[in-house]
Structure 1
Amino acid sequence: MSSATLAGCGALILWAFLAPLARLAGALPPLQITALAFAAGGLIALVVVAAQGRLSLMRQGGLAWAHGVGGLFGYHALYFAALALAPAVEANLLNYLWPLLIVLLSGPILGLPLGPRRLAGVALGFAGCALLVGAGASFPPSAMLGFACAVGCAVVWAVYSVTSKRMSSVPTEALAGFCLASALLAGLAHLLFEVSVAPDATQWLAVLLLGAGPLGAAFFLWDAGMKRGDPRLLGTLAYAVPVASTLLLVATGEGALTWRVALAALLVAGGGLLAATVRDDSAIRSH
């Protein structure tokens, strides 16, 4: 496994904490959480990029900004809305359709071969997610908008991630600017559509942790993984994230631990292991 793919795996670990930290933010409106967390993550990244003397790399063309801001802002605005409007565990799991979509879209968009073993790994991971969604999940009419947001953010993140390979000339440092622009866009939308809530100490802590990890360092690691690593493998290994995220939600009182969760974890781990052991024919031919 390449170092870039390993970097992408680091992002997956950080994203396992996205839902618990979002729930820790409590009653803050979705767009307000998005704005505050992106501001924190963007400012931290800006300091790092400035310390490296690489601020000039943030000057990018319109397509790069549309791709970066559209992916980051679009996904997280929909994700936080889903958690606010629907039951957390179910919405979080529907959001994790994006690993399946990444693996499947890597074929038609990037021309990468999938192969039967990788597709079998995807199927096992998807079966684990489906089992979790069916483990006592309820779909009240009032939550349907939240579930729609969850599916929407899965589509946005999958398309953003796969097309990042086509944007390999855009340096990772530019993400600092994309985060700050996303914070500004989310802040303006918040002022237009939501009522501001003054965060308490716990909510500020949640926002800072979101900005440092899932909405900060994770983007840089994921960017390296998708541009220079194997998106098929990362998409399949990402099936471990909903299991870890669900277990963290259960630990914080957002759901119940059942035998189905354990079985789903085995399916997800098995699917990731199967996909990880696939030998890449293109790599074999290059040696």
Structure 2
Amino acid sequence: MDKSAVTGATTNTATWIGFAAVLMWALLAILTAASGAVPPFQLNALSFAVGTAVGFLWMAMTGRWRDLVQPLRVWALGVVGLFGYHALYFTALRNAPPIEAGLIAYLWPLLIVIFSAALPGERLRWFHIAGGLLGFLGAALIVTRGASLSFEARHGAGYLAAVACALTWSSYSVLSRRNATVPTGAVVGFCAAAALLSVPFHLALETTVWPRGGGEWAAVLGLGLMPVGAAFYVWDIGVKRGNIQLLGVLSYAAPLLSTVILILFGYGVFTWQVAAAALLITLGALTASRALRIPTRSGKEASAGR
């Protein structure tokens, strides 16, 4: 069998494994809404604690504890990526209007596409950029709901936090590709650190509010099992071994699917903006997916040698 074909199949599989994280992140809004009045950093601590517990259980079953033994630079990247992103996101929403802050923060998929050009062996092509821009336009319609934007200087700190938020997650994702030899089990440690670091922020900035009833506790458990748990593990596989440009564009499906789920559960209404966003994001994904149909350079060379 052609080695390039095997490599391509492996890359495509890893890409779709990474896309599972996008599907899980689509549940973030509905599960957060169902978790009641638990403040953000407390919810962060609880959710990451659940995600960590699942990871530790897996490590105990497989005996992969050595995955946690990593250089300081790897730990720094993981902790800044997971905890830093969430801390900056919450800071942005506290200091700027949610619509503007959310839109800026959602630059991260497009930044992943652009930053990937600096990775060894990666080529940034026109359809990656075009797909990313179409996806961003679709996300903009979802986040703004067609409302006019008003960027005011007094919210500058919030806007800067949102920019830092987008830069943090995109940089974490792309730099993870450079650390492709680091096992995904290390992410369990990053989740544990994020849970622990959320506690002092909660105690300093928030009033403790515990979930009420089984439904709210189930939502917290769901957050920890999927969007604030397993999602980070499969995302790690996707960005390290998959098509990172396509994965970046596909990430714009998260706000669309999240909105559709909210509508289905009665938290929103279907509008023309949702329909237009669905069209733009789908077009963006289809445009970027050209990468799956174009043979690699090694594949072309192998064909020429026959």
Q: Say yes or no: TM over 0.5.
A: yes
Unaligned runs of 5+ in 1: none
Aligned to 1:179: 191
Task: Find the partner of 1:159 among 168, 171, 178.
Answer: 171
The structural deviation recorded for 1:233 is: 0.8
Q: What amino acid does structure 1 have at the position aligned with 2:247?
A: L
Structure 1 partner of 2:300:
285
2: distance between equivalents of 1:152 and 1:169? 27
**1:79 matched to which residue of 2?**
89
Please list every run of 5 or more consecutive structure 2 residues that lacks an aligned counterpart in the other structure: 1-10
Give the direction of change, closer, same or farther, for the CA distance of 1:259–1:144 in structure 2 (3 Å limit): farther
Between stretches 260-269 and 144-153, larger displacement belongs to 144-153
1:268 aligns with 2:281: yes
Q: What is the match of residue 116 of structure 1? A: 126
More deviation in 154-163 or 85-94? Answer: 85-94
- Rate the CA distance shift 1:49–1:84 in 2: closer, same or farther, 3 A: farther
When the two chains are superposed, the root-mean-square deviation of aligned CA atoms in Å is 2.6
Rounded to whole Å, the distance in 1 between the matches of 2:236 and 2:18 is 7
Query: Are 1:221 and 2:231 matched, yes or no?
Result: no
Q: Which moved more, 1:139-148 or 1:218-227?
A: 139-148
The letter of the residue matching 2:147 is G
Once residues 91 and 221 of structure 2 are traced to their aligned partners in structure 1, the CA distance between those partners, rounded to angstroms, is 19
Contact 2:119–2:178 under 8 Å retained in 1: no
Q: 1:52 aligns with which of 58, 62, 69?
A: 62
Q: Deviations over 1:56-108 (max 9, x none)?
A: 21111111111111100111223345566767666554432211110011113
How many Å separate the matches in 2 of 1:271 and 1:218? 22
Following the alignment from structure 2 to structure 1, what is the Cα–Cα distance between the partners of residues 20 and 258?
A: 14
What residue number does 2:223 align with?
210
Amino acid at match of 1:164: S
> d(CA) in 1 for partners of 2:137 and 2:172?
24
**What does 1:100-139 align with in structure 2 at a 5 Å threshold?**
100-110=110-120, 112-132=122-142, 133=144, 135-136=146-147
| TM-score normalised by L of structure 2 | 0.84
| CA shift in 2, pair 1:149/1:19, >3 Å | farther
Q: TM-score, normalised by structure 1?
A: 0.89
Aligned counterparts of 2:23 and 2:155: Cα–Cα separation in 1: 28
Preserved contact between residue 88 and residue 254 of structure 1 (Cα < 8 Å): no
Local SS of the residue matching 1:212: helix
Moved more, 168-177 or 201-210: 201-210
Q: Distance in 2 between matches of 1:55 and 1:105?
A: 32
Given the alignment of the two structures, is residue 237 of structure 1 paired with residue 247 of structure 2, yes or no? no
Q: In structure 2, what is the equivalent of residue 13 of structure 1?
A: 23
Structure-2 separation of matches of 1:90 and 1:252: 25
**What SS does the corresponding residue of 2:185 show, helix, strand or coil?**
helix
